[in-house]
Structure 1
Amino acid sequence: MITDDRRPLKLAVDRLQAAAAARASGDFADAVNAVLAALPQSDRRDASDAVPRLAKLLPDTPVWLQGMVAVITGACVELGADPAVCAPVILDSARDAVRRAAEFPAIWAAAGGGALPVPQSVDPSAEAIDQLGGASAGEEALLGLMAWWQVQQWELATVAMLSHRPIRDGLAERAQFRAEAERLALVGPYPLESMRHIVRMVDDEPMLVLHRPSGTAYRMRMGGLGDNRQLLTLLADTLVGGGHVPGVAPHPAAVGLARDTPFGPGTNPPSANVSAQFALANPDGTLIDPEGCPDDITFTDGIRFLVLDAPRTPLTWTAGRLFPVVSGSLVLDAVLSPEESRTWAAKASH
């Protein structure tokens, strides 16, 4: 039998709950540090026991520590806990934090601030609080400042939740979440690439692909792709490796890394290097950024329609996945007939 003294995560969460009940912010901060210290010693069972307690605790957490508790909860999910238990409260809180952070520049300007503050510590700086009016600052101003300071923590927690497809499938207000994250990325201290991409991730999505140089077209289905470099790798494997179009197929090791091969720092072999075989475009002629995501592909006649041209400039990258725990897929459903291919080619601008 495993006793509590051999389960440091349980004891640390006990301390969090006690501090929340006593409304003791200092004790709560110490307990958060104890949880962080316990995580490396914890397993799936410990994490599964902790997650429902952490999710229940989050609304009662001091606002300046909510982002950290969300990160801890996400770390427990990465250890194997069920994200369904905590995703609703984490994602609702993340959406709210992103919205407040996106509104913060206007609040800062109204308070007479100059350059926006850049978070360089866990807590907002005294200078930033003073600029807003110190203790007399309104609640919305202080909540905006807290959100601005914690946005990177909310990004980590969001990615941990949305790395699981059932959670992505149930994501409410996806368009609003995406819009606020993109708005914040334009003015915020971080690009929020991971948050913006995973909020837009598509799953089991049909796609029509026209290879314009050969005039051939294909029906495909994609899912779990974090960015367009991953898509380009799998397109080259499917079309070049499958013998449908000319080019240089990626090495099987690179294809595996783009699909589901585990990887981490320093584990990618030289064969993981990939050279672009195509330039991506929408049918109206607008180019699609390789650093963007598959959601950039627009719809024509009810289906995403991707046009492949010859690469305009050399482009290489190391194969992998922006979200390592999410498996990527690209399936060739059908090779279209010459007549069907010509019909689709006529829909694309030259």
Structure 2
Amino acid sequence: MSHEEQLDSAIELLDTAVRERDHDAYADAGRRLISVARQASPEVLDAAVVKLLPVLAEIHTSRGAGLAQLVGSMVGTTGSSAPAVVPVLVDRACEVMEHALAFAASYRELFAVEPSRDDETVVERYLAAAEARGVERPDRYAAAWEVGENWVQPVLLLCQRTDVRRGLPERERLRALVEQVEELFPDVAPWLLGLLRVLDDETLIIVHRESGQVFRATMTGVADNFQLHTLLAANLLGPRRGLFSRRGLLPGEPPTQAMIAAADGSGDLAPPGGISGQFNLVDANGTWIWNEGRPDEIPLVHNHRVVVLDPPPYHRTWNTARAYPHLTATMNVEPVAEPEATHWRTAIKPPQEPEGASAGVPAGEAAVPPGWTDDLSVQLPPGRTAADVVDLVLALVDGGASAEAVEAALTSELGLDAEDAALARDRVFGGLVRAATNNPANEPTPTKDPIAHESYHRALANPTLIHKYYPDLGQP
């Protein structure tokens, strides 16, 4: 039998099992489906998922959660069946989120407390109380609470595709629900909301304050201002290098090809050595545009979002160029001619002191956005020091340990929790990168970033460390 015939057979068995409520037959058909799908061509998978849609549209929430994820993976980032599949996935995801919200509201009414993910008895207690109170179909609400994230996840995956976002059905309903379930579905809802905020085919006005040049940038697939920052530098700064080289529109060293690829989705999310900032982004009112923010937060002026490019007040680096692994971004930048350029130059205000800045902030340290913190310290157990962390991390990395293995060792040997272990590992290499800039203003503070402070001074004392871990940044 061909793969197509095997998939058809498995789908028929799946459909029959659902209608007859035969759980064992359903599980067997599902295993067959997964096994054949792994071997089938994209064309065969596209045809198969369309045949699965009637089952997906009607199946019980609890039973169908795995099927929804399978369908999403079968369509993936390239499948041509997305226009047929997405409406069904979006409708079911919305229905599940509505039921999860109903579960939480009903639970509060029954018990006068919020349901907790840490309490394994939540569903059992709810079903018993809801049935006693005569709640209609409480199993639907309970299932949405238990497996709802699995129904939202395939929508998250597919919304990384530009064609899906452009043609997304029920966008307003989907976004409203995602905003409401951020705390109920913390592993997927905030990430999907970020994709729903992406501005596709959006035009920005870019003003380079120092030269007075004005540009029009049309962008798609830019999820945050880290990504925006890198893509602006890639399109504006020169000279360009490569087969199709041209001079940059503005003077300056452009990002490396690895940095650009990380930002536009054609390369790894985190290029070796991280990413360096070339500008300070400011809006038309003179307010700083923080890299941690999103393009849709940039205020409109005369129906356009305006970004002013100022010199960077300090050296900025970050590790990851884009937030979503399958998100691809494009940007096209062209100069704006007079007299329109004059209009935009006169529309911008001088840069303001960022909120939270004060005379007490040491040189080279940035003020942080409201709600953020610049404290990167880690609470170490008694008797342990930042030097112990740096010693352990570098020794493990030298031995070929993965990031996960390093963090596990920080937990088992130094007693850090998982979150602090990840931060500690990051700060060891953050200090090395800062040392590579050879700029005293980039010295991490011993109070708010002690681990990076320790590795920074080790690198200054032994520059071969920089070359060892970041050969593109330092020289032995």
Structure 2 length-normalised TM: 0.62
1:21 to partner: Cα distance: 2.4
CA contact (8 A) 2:236 2:248 kept: yes
- Whether 1:97 and 2:96 are equivalent positions in the alignment is yes
CA distance in 2, matches of 1:213, 1:149: 55
CA distance 1:38–1:292, shift in 2 (3 Å): farther
164-173 vs 6-15, which moves further: 6-15
* Preserved contact between residue 280 and residue 312 of structure 2 (Cα < 8 Å): yes
Q: 2-side partners of 1:269 and 1:28: how far apart?
A: 44
Checking the alignment, whether the CA contact within 8 Å between 1:102 and 1:188 is kept in structure 2 is: no
Give the Å deviation of 1:199.
1.7
Q: Is 1:184 aligned with 2:197?
A: no
Contact 1:258–1:328 under 8 Å retained in 2? yes
Could you say which residue in structure 1 is the equivalent of 2:124? 130
2 CA distance for matches of 1:150 and 1:51? 21
Distance across 2 between alignment mates of 1:316 and 1:139: 55
1:291-337 alpha-carbon deviations (Å, 9 max, x no partner): 44322233221122234445566543345443444421111122455
Match of 1:299 in 2: 300
2:150 aligned counterpart, secondary structure? helix
Read off the aligned partner of 2:256 and give its amino acid letter.
H
Corresponding residue of 1:270: 272
Describe the shift of the 1:173–1:84 C-alpha distance in structure 2 as closer, same or farther (beyond 3 A). Answer: closer
In the alignment, does 2:196 pair up with 1:196?
no
Asked whether 1:168 is paired with 2:165, we answer: yes
**Mapping of 1:1-350 within 5 angstroms?**
3-4=1-2, 8-78=6-76, 80-112=79-111, 114=113, 116-118=115-117, 127-134=121-128, 136=131, 138-139=135-136, 141-190=138-187, 192-212=189-209, 215-241=212-238, 243-245=248-250, 248-263=253-268, 269-270=271-272, 273-284=274-285, 287-311=288-312, 315-335=316-336, 337=338, 339-346=342-349
Structure 1 gaps of 5+ residues are: 120-124
Contact 1:12 1:34 in 2 (8 A): yes
Asked if the contact 2:107–2:115 (Cα under 8 Å) also holds between the matched residues in 1, the reply is yes
Q: Distance in 1 between matches of 2:123 and 2:113?
A: 13
Contact 2:156 2:188 (C-alpha < 8 Å) held by counterparts: no
C-alpha displacement at 1:52, in angstroms? 0.9
Q: Which moved more, 1:22-31 or 1:232-241?
A: 22-31
- Give deviations 1:221-269, integer Å, cap 9, x for gaps: 00022332221110121233464556553112211232242547xxx65
Is the Cα contact below 8 Å between 1:90 and 1:157 reproduced in 2?
yes
Give the aligned residue type for 2:226.
R
Residue 22 of structure 1: how far off its partner (Å): 1.4
Q: What is the CA distance between 1:210 and its match in structure 2?
A: 2.9
Quote the RMSD (CA, aligned, Å).
Answer: 3.3
Letter in 2 for 1:322: A
Percent of aligned pairs sharing the same letter: 27
1:146-184 superposed Cα distances (whole Å, 9 cap, x missing partner): 223333323321133323333322223423422321232
Deviates most, 255-264 or 232-241: 255-264
C-alpha distance in structure 2 between counterparts of 1:17 and 1:53, whole Å: 10
Q: Distance in 1 between matches of 2:310 and 2:125?
A: 52
State how far apart, in whole Å, the 1-side matches of 2:287 and 2:96 are.
33
- The residue matched to 1:86 in structure 2 has which SS? helix
Structure 1 90/240 Cα, relative in aligned 2: closer, same or farther at 3 Å?
A: same
Structure 2 CA distance for aligned equivalents of residues 247 and 5 of structure 1: 54
Rounded to whole Å, the distance in 1 between the matches of 2:211 and 2:144 is 51
Alpha-carbon separation, structure 2, partners of 1:84 and 1:294:
27
Cα deviation for residue 25 of structure 1 reads 3.7
- Corresponding residue number in structure 2 for 1:122: none
- CA distance 1:34–1:270, change in 2 (3 Å): same
**What is the SS of the residue equivalent to 1:208?**
strand
Tell me if the contact between 2:263 and 2:322 (Cα under 8 Å) persists in the aligned partners.
yes
Does the 8 Å contact 2:206/2:217 carry over to 1? Answer: yes
Scaled by the length of structure 1, the TM-score of the pair is: 0.81
Using the TM superposition, give the Cα deviation of residue 19 of structure 1 relative to its aligned residue in structure 2, in angstroms: 0.8
Q: Distance between the aligned counterparts of 1:315 and 1:141, measured in 2? A: 52
> Aligned partners of 1:317, 1:12: CA distance in 2, in Å?
47
What is the count of residue pairs matched by the alignment?
339
SS of 1:226 mapped into structure 2: coil
Give the residue type in structure 1 aligned to 2:97. V
Question: Shift in Å at residue 284 of structure 1?
Answer: 4.4
Whole-Å Cα distance in 1 between the matches of residues 57 and 316 of structure 2? 46
CA distance in 1, matches of 2:209, 2:67: 50
2:328 aligns to what SS in structure 1?
coil
Bigger relative contact order (CA 8 A; separation at least 6): 1
Measured after TM superposition, the shift of residue 47 of structure 1 is: 0.9
Shift in Å, 1:86: 1.1
Bigger radius of gyration, 1 or 2? 2
* Contact 1:215–1:341 (Cα < 8 Å) also in 2: no
Describe the superposition over 1:14-56 as per-residue Cα deviations: whole angstroms up to 9, x where unpaired. Answer: 3211112213244324433443344322321331121112211
- Between the aligned partners of 1:111 and 1:40, the Cα distance in structure 2 is 45
